[in-house]
Amino acid sequence: MSYREKRSSERISCNLDATIISDAKIYDGFIKNVSESGLEYSTASGITLREGENPVKNVRLIFSVFSDEVIGLNCAPRWFATDGSEDHIVIGMRIIDPPPRYNELMRNIQLCKYL
């Protein structure tokens, strides 16, 4: 069973600009979907992906939800896949101890689905 099939919470599609920082390197990209415990991130920033190898262990993901509010998440990559080309990578990540503000945003997103 793949990581995608083992998800413990529903994913909500989005398109949020975000940056990951790992091993003093910065990779720009965007968040494709979010949940309470994880997210899917896409980047075209030169991460080299070899079969069966995780190029990064833990990352810091930073994104903005409003023009002046920045949220930082500590994440552990769970799976990697190329998305159409060798230099474009999609990363599934587990969020490690999400901050209260992230949890609040997720509750609000869930409520908005029913309005």
Give the list of residues 6+ apart from residue 15 with CB closer than 8 angstroms, or none.
30, 31, 32
Per the structure, the count of domains in the chain is 1
From the centroid of its chain, how far is CA 86? 19
* pLDDT over 60 at 5, yes or no: no
* pLDDT tens per residue across span 14-37: 888 999 988 888 889 999 999 999
* Tokens 């979907």 -> residue: 33
- Host domain of residue 82: 4-112
* pLDDT tens per residue across span 43-97: 886 666 555 555 567 899 999 987 788 999 999 998 888 766 667 888 999 999 9
pTM exceeds 0.85, yes or no:
no
36: CATH: 2.40.10.220
